[in-house]
Chains A and B, each alone.
Chain A
Amino acid sequence: MALKLDSKIPAGALADKWSNHKAAIKVVSPANKRKLDIIIVGTGLGGASAAASLGEMGYNVKVFCIQDSPRRAHSIAAQGGINAAKNYQNDNDSVYRLFYDTIKGGDYRAREANVYRLAEVSNLIIDQCVAQGVPFAREYGGLLANRSFGGAQVSRTFYARGQTGQQLLLGAYAALNKEIAAGSVKSYPRHEMLDIVVEDGEAKGIIARNLVTGEIERHGAHAVVIATGGYGNVFFLSTNAMGSNGSAAFQCYRKGAGFANPCFTQIHPTCIPIHGTQQSKLTLMSESLRNDGRIWVPKKMEDVEAIRKGTKKPSDIAEEDRDYYLERRYPAFGNLVPRDVASRAAKERCDAGYGVNETGLAVFLDFKTAIERLGEDIIKQRYGNLFDMYEEITDVSPYKEPMQIFPAVHYTMGGIWVDYNLMTTIPGLYAIGEANFSDHGANRLGASALMQGLADGYFVLPYTIGDYLSKKIQAPKVSTDTPAFAEAEKAVKEKIEKLFSINGKQSVDDIHKRLGNIMWNNVGMARTKESLEKAIKEIQALRKEFWTDVKVVGTANSFNVELEKALRLVDYLELGELMARDALNREESCGGHFRSEHQTEEGEALRHDDEFAYAAVWEYKGMDKEPELTKEPLDYEFTHRAQRNYKD
């Protein structure tokens, strides 16, 4: 039976949809809110802001995170900023322009209504964060400062030094703390959700593992919200935190929630290149560097070779021998093209042999021009901490020599399918932030992830969840003493026992690294039918190997990181295949998804709107069974779909 997808997009003009919808949906009275329980999994910008807002409204909230404190969720790592259509810079910005840039940046694969709502509430986010004491950068007049970001021709990004994500999360975490102190929210740090419990077709709670004691716990609620971020760590090496994982989202998929556009992965153009086989993660250098940095490779192959050999320094290469390829190919946006475009352009140059380090997988990001124009002091003010960090890692000072950068997996636009209310195909189960699929289409613009997390958590979910919960005001407390909970708990315990019983030869990381290689080589920046079919076969084989040869040491009833990693890898091994399947199905190139068979003569992504203007929603059918595809058509009523053009 195919999934029934009702996106619940309200009727009416684009600008009125959200107001109309808010007016139409039901609310829960304060007396009834007290009787309703909500579980939120994840405490990043989405989870923390939702928990704080819902607690404040009067619901009983339980919030779970795998880290030792809610403050450590990976939202903190966002450096550059958060977009809002404030038009404080008087550069003719507007809600519509932010909406349009986001839709276009997403290569016309997002829902218009969702994206417009996102742009609409973006302004509220800035107000909210300022009121919470987020120390945004300010001008001498005391007003908020802005910077530019990729994919936009206006300056609409608000920032707090190189730590915007950290500061926004501290704001949301503080709001959460306020509610924890007030008793409306209960926090469960070092807890990992291992299953979602569905009873009578509705989400009724979760099974969680206390990561300190290893105890398996049951938690019931009238609604469950998944805010666990993205699944980029399928690739092993990514800019995600080591603990970021796709398991919570994947359990929802297993229990019947549709998973949309899994293949839409964002490869971030400005990461520090890989240096060896023992590396554990890739470090991102903020996209804001592209404001003043110029990206280039040498024009002449002999220069490339000289740099690789170390006989020439990058600064020795004369201006006329440098190929500022982004400025050459995209004169209008130059170094500020969207991430997918910049990443692919770097890959194109490196594939042509112009990569500038030993591995041939690096290009230069050069601040020479900016330092000459603005002086070292200003550059230091703007990017000092990033430059220091770069030097710490690579032993090279970006003030003297250009940085080396290369694209790396960064963000997953795909995720759990949700309707306009952010509810999944399982009633009572919601997904917000990066965990859902809704707002970024096939590519996310810089500084928009923070915007979406906070929009969902502060301004959308707290209203839309009421529409569902208003039907539950008569419902008693959710009992965890039911067959559904018992069954879910039993399944989790059996899975854990099974993992220990294999006692094979390979460590979890050994297998994860191999999965990462398969993914990067075949489901990475450029995908082909052959590579994807190969990936599916290889992943299936690797999965078999995992279930027969993995070695998980330690015990179930203790703090056991190996077990945590093994449980996550179980899901990556299926998620990887799902990504490949989705990529194989999508016979077009769009945003972060680039099928080599589908490109323009100039090598740009070639969409096929007639065939693929839909969100691909997959339904789980079993571990070794093909998932079933349902399509949610994306009707563009208000914008004209065009080939993305960043040239003029």
Chain B
Amino acid sequence: MNFKLKIWRQKDAKSQGAFETYEVKNISADTSFLEMLDILNNDLVHAGKEPVAFDHDCREGICGMCSLHINGHAHGPAQAVTTCQMYMRKFKDGSTITIEPWRSAAFPVIKDLVVNRGAYDEILQAGGFVSVRTNSVPDGNAIPIPKKDADESMDAAACVGCGACAATCKNGSAMLFVAARVSSLAKLPQGRVEGARRAKAMVAKMDELGFGNCTNTGACQAECPKQISIAHIARLNREFLAAKLQD
């Protein structure tokens, strides 16, 4: 297969970026999208040019590092997968593929297709944890948890923190990410204890970092590689409002 690639190139955070066009040839349909970029990069290196910088690591869809906006979709046109899990058979031979970095004020571009997602870490540092000390905990089976609750908690915990939700949202809102963490812990008795404090602190941090407001479009859940439901956003809303009403 052959493709024309329109890729965003930007030297560093301060520089102005622009699209550049490249061609890749003889790509097998079984090649993953990132392997296709590896091939392009190897060619660029041989030509003495700087390869395209993009974030990636595990290449099995779980680390959340890869972050490409492909043909208008976060993680590309395939559903429920990260960029690294997308294979070239999903694209039409001979087509032009546009690749952009995540675009969100809270995710500034570092270089080419690499962005800084430190804001997500900061939100979790604001309260995305259970305050327990190492070794001062009861037996794992001391508190039974209904299977349904544990499963729902796991649904939310599947979030890999890739940033596709905020990158996709027309409002640049990080609500799905924040909700996934708040909701996951809210469904467990261990997390419930400081649920109110957590919801308030994480929402406050999210606002402070310049993320936008959720308008319930559902674009985030449509592009989320882990298919996290906006029902978790509803739970976050509930947790937050209940906490605020008790202030």
Do A and B come into direct contact in the complex, CB within 8 Å? yes
Binding site for B on A (CB under 8 A): 49, 52-53, 56, 67-72, 74, 76-77, 86, 88, 124, 126-133, 135-144, 160-161, 163, 165-167, 170, 173-175, 177-178, 180-181, 187, 189, 212, 239, 241-243, 275-276, 278-281, 283-284, 388-389, 392-395, 458-459, 462, 505, 507-510, 551, 553-554, 558-559, 561-562
Min CB–CB distance B17 → chain A (angstroms)? 13
- Which residue from A76, A77, A132, A278 sits with its C-beta under 8 Å from B132? A132
> Does B30 contact A52, Cβ atoms closer than 8 Å?
no
> Does B134 contact A553, Cβ atoms closer than 8 Å?
no
Q: A174-B129, A395-B89 are in contact. List 9 more A-B contacts (CB 8 A).
A: A69-B120, A127-B140, A131-B132, A174-B124, A175-B134, A239-B60, A241-B63, A458-B134, A561-B53
* CB-CB nearest 7 A-B residue pairs: A142-B144, A131-B137, A174-B129, A135-B154, A135-B153, A130-B140, A507-B45
B171 at the interface (CB under 8 A from A): no
Closest residue on chain A to residue B86 by CB atoms: A392
Of B60, B89, B118, the most chain A CB neighbours within 10 A belong to: B60
> Does B61 contact A389, Cβ atoms closer than 8 Å?
yes
Q: Report the bound CA distance from A177 to B139 in whole Å.
A: 24
B31 at the interface (CB under 8 A from A): yes
For the complex, count residues of B whose C-beta is within 8 A of A. Answer: 80
> Does B42 contact A181, Cβ atoms closer than 8 Å?
no
Interface 0/1 of B101-144, CB less than 8 Å to A: 00000000011001011101100111111111111011111001
> Does B35 contact A278, Cβ atoms closer than 8 Å?
yes
Q: Report the bound CA distance from A69 to B114 in whole Å.
A: 13
Q: Knowing A131-B190, A138-B145 touch, does A76 contact B62 (C-beta < 8 A)?
A: yes
Q: Report the bound CA distance from A549 to B125 in whole Å.
A: 46
Interface 0/1 of B75-116, CB less than 8 Å to A: 000101100010101000000000000000000001100101
> Does A76 contact B30, Cβ atoms closer than 8 Å?
no
- Which residues of chain A are near B60, meaning CB under 8 Å? 77, 239, 281, 283-284, 389
B179 at the interface (CB under 8 A from A): no
> Does B129 contact A177, Cβ atoms closer than 8 Å?
yes
- Which residues of chain B are near A284, meaning CB under 8 Å? 60
> Does B147 contact A241, Cβ atoms closer than 8 Å?
no
Q: Report the bound CA distance from A128 to B139 in whole Å.
A: 8
Closest residue on chain B to residue A158 by CB atoms: B140
- Which residue from B57, B62, B139 sits with its C-beta under 8 Å from A166? B62
Min CB–CB distance B132 → chain A (angstroms)? 5
- Which residue from A133, A160, A167, A559 sits with its C-beta under 8 Å from B53? A559
Binds A, one of B156-164, B208-216, B230-238: B156-164
> Does B184 contact A133, Cβ atoms closer than 8 Å?
yes
> Does B111 contact A128, Cβ atoms closer than 8 Å?
no
> Does A86 contact B140, Cβ atoms closer than 8 Å?
yes
- Which residues of chain A are near B151, meaning CB under 8 Å? 135, 138
> Does A136 contact B134, Cβ atoms closer than 8 Å?
no
- Which residue from B78, B121, B137 sits with its C-beta under 8 Å from A127? B137
> Does B62 contact A163, Cβ atoms closer than 8 Å?
yes
- Which residues of chain A are near B34, meaning CB under 8 Å? 280
> Does A142 contact B146, Cβ atoms closer than 8 Å?
yes
Of A243, A462, A508, the most chain B CB neighbours within 10 A belong to: A243
> Does A74 contact B55, Cβ atoms closer than 8 Å?
no
> Does B38 contact A163, Cβ atoms closer than 8 Å?
no
- Which residues of chain A are near B51, meaning CB under 8 Å? 553, 561-562
> Does B134 contact A128, Cβ atoms closer than 8 Å?
yes
Q: Knowing A161-B154, A283-B60, A559-B110 touch, does A462 contact B134 (C-beta < 8 A)?
A: yes
- Which residue from A135, A136, A187, A394 sits with its C-beta under 8 Å from B121? A187
* A-contacting residues, B1-59, CB 8 Å: 11-12, 27-28, 30-32, 34-35, 38-39, 42, 44-46, 48-51, 53, 55-59
Q: Report the bound CA distance from A160 to B150 in whole Å.
A: 10
Q: Report the bound CA distance from A562 to B60 in whole Å.
A: 22
Q: Knowing A166-B160, A392-B85 touch, does A133 contact B190 (C-beta < 8 A)?
A: yes
